[in-house]
Copies of this chain bind each other. A is one copy, B any other.
Amino acid sequence: MQEATELAITFAALGDPVRRAIVDRLAAGDATVSELAAPFPISLQAVSKHIKVLEAAGIVSRRREGQTRPVRLEPELLDRTAAWLHEHARRLEARYARLDAVLDDMKENR
């Protein structure tokens, strides 16, 4: 990473396998930092850093709850990112369909 567009940050955040796994886990429900860290062979601090990256990207939010810091996945950004991807895919498919039509036409009238 190095720049600042929202989508670039989102993708960069999801580009790390540990962070992707964290997001997967959070899709099932909120979790504390220790809970999120448990499955990984890395230190709690490292996981804490990953969560910070996800939070900076707007993918998760944290709140304080006693001495624990539950993390919640925020759907909104994921939705917008999905929309971006979907729009690209849609446009491409339409374009390729038109191309195929032209080619078929050429074949028929040959």
Contact A79 B75 (CB under 8 A): no
What residues of B have a CB within 8 angstroms of the CB of A16 in the complex?
Answer: 1, 8, 12
Copies of this chain, complex-wide, total 2
Question: For the complex, what is the distance from the CA of A79 to the CA of B96, rounded to whole Å?
Answer: 15
Q: Does any Cβ of B come within 8 Å of A11's Cβ? A: yes
- State which of B5, B14, B78, B85 has its C-beta within 8 Å of the C-beta of A79: B85
Q: Does any Cβ of B come within 8 Å of A86's Cβ? A: yes
- State which of B8, B15, B29, B82 has its C-beta within 8 Å of the C-beta of A85: B82
Q: Does any Cβ of B come within 8 Å of A89's Cβ? A: yes
Contact B78 A85 (CB under 8 A): yes
Q: How many whole Å from A8's CB to the nearest CB in chain B?
A: 5
